[in-house]
Structure 1
Amino acid sequence: MTGFKIVEKLQKINEDIHKEQLKYHHKRVLVSKEFTFDAAHHLHCYEGKCKNLHGHTYKAIFGISGYTDDTGLMIDFGEIKQIWKNEIEIHLDHRYLNDTLPLMNTTAENIVVWMYEMMSEYLKKDLKWTEAGVRLEFVRLFETPTSYAEARREWMEVE
């Protein structure tokens, strides 16, 4: 029977594989990272339940593309998480969005554009990412498990 195999010897750099072999290709790739946060808001000029104060467990998905470096990485998932934690989540998680976001109606459509702008601007600040062609491709914001708004690079930026 084939399938499961116990690894007896870990591959070693410069012995079993060489540094110039770490980068496998020269193609653009996309990585995606998901986050959740809980927040309250209400909508203005809206006749329906959402005019009242209420909350959601939101899910945000960021799609980031670029070219890999010499080790085969484009951007570390941990770096995306740090940007989320330090630059974006602090304005959202367990907050009243009408107070913490710029003046806007706190619709999913408005929030996802704000999130796109925040992440995109942060990625453009770091030379190592701009040199690697790293760019934000999309942000998808789920307000419920079946309803989301999305901002895409081609809609947001003129190149």
Structure 2
Amino acid sequence: MYGFTIVENLQKFDKDIKRHELKYHRERVLISKEFTFDAAHHLHCYQGKCKNLHGHTYRAVFGISGYTDEIGILIDFSEIKSIWKEQIEIHLDHRYLNETLPKMNTTAENMVVWIYEKMNQVLINRPDDCRLEFVKLYETPTSYAEARREWMIHE
């Protein structure tokens, strides 16, 4: 099977690896971060079960692309988490979405565009070439809506 090894000589910065070696490439990469939230909503002008007040455990997936900095990081995952918590989740988690979101039918299709716009507003002001490529919003484990950067550019 697999054995496990104890690292005896932990790599030391400026001895075993130099600053100029930390960045491995100059390629655009995409990182992804996922979040979940629980919320209630209902749909207007709809004749199915969703016309009644009900809830979901939603899952939002973000894809962010760009070029890494001098140490090989595109954007810290904790920074994405902070943006999510401070700018987006406060409007969604354990909320009645019909009340906290802008006036819209709270479909996954409408909500994913709103979430995209909120995250993009923050990322677009960064000094690096970091950009939001997509947001997926899962309403159930098998059903999601998606907004992609190329679809959101209006000329």
- Smaller-chain TM-score range? over 0.9
Q: Deviations over 1:31-90 (max 9, x none)?
A: 000000000000000001000000000000000000000000000000000000000000
What letter is aligned with 1:101? L
The alignment status of 1:144 with 2:136, answered yes or no, reads: no
Which contiguous aligned blocks of 4+ residues in structure 1 show a shift greater than 3 angstroms? Answer: none
Q: 1:125 aligns to what SS in structure 2? A: coil
Q: Note the 1:13-92 alignment, pairs <5 A.
A: 13-92=13-92
CA distance in 1, matches of 2:8, 2:82: 35
CA distance in 2, matches of 1:2, 1:41: 49
Q: 1:70 aligns to what SS in structure 2? A: coil
Match of 1:135 in 2: 131
CA distance in 2, matches of 1:4, 1:75: 31
What letter is aligned with 1:137? E
Q: 2:124 aligns to what SS in structure 1? A: helix
User: What is the deviation of 1:158?
Assistant: 4.3
Number of aligned residues: 155
Report the CA distance shift for 1:2/1:42 in structure 2 as closer, same or farther (over 3 A): closer
User: What is the deviation of 1:3?
Assistant: 4.8
The alignment status of 1:153 with 2:149, answered yes or no, reads: yes
Report the CA distance shift for 1:18/1:110 in structure 2 as closer, same or farther (over 3 A): same
Match of 1:98 in 2: 98
CA distance in 1, matches of 2:43, 2:98: 9
Using the size of structure 2 for normalisation, the TM-score is: 0.96
User: What is the deviation of 1:2?
Assistant: 7.0
CA distance in 2, matches of 1:71, 1:97: 40
Using the size of structure 1 for normalisation, the TM-score is: 0.94
User: What is the deviation of 1:126?
Assistant: 2.5
What letter is aligned with 2:144? Y
Identical pairs, percent? 72
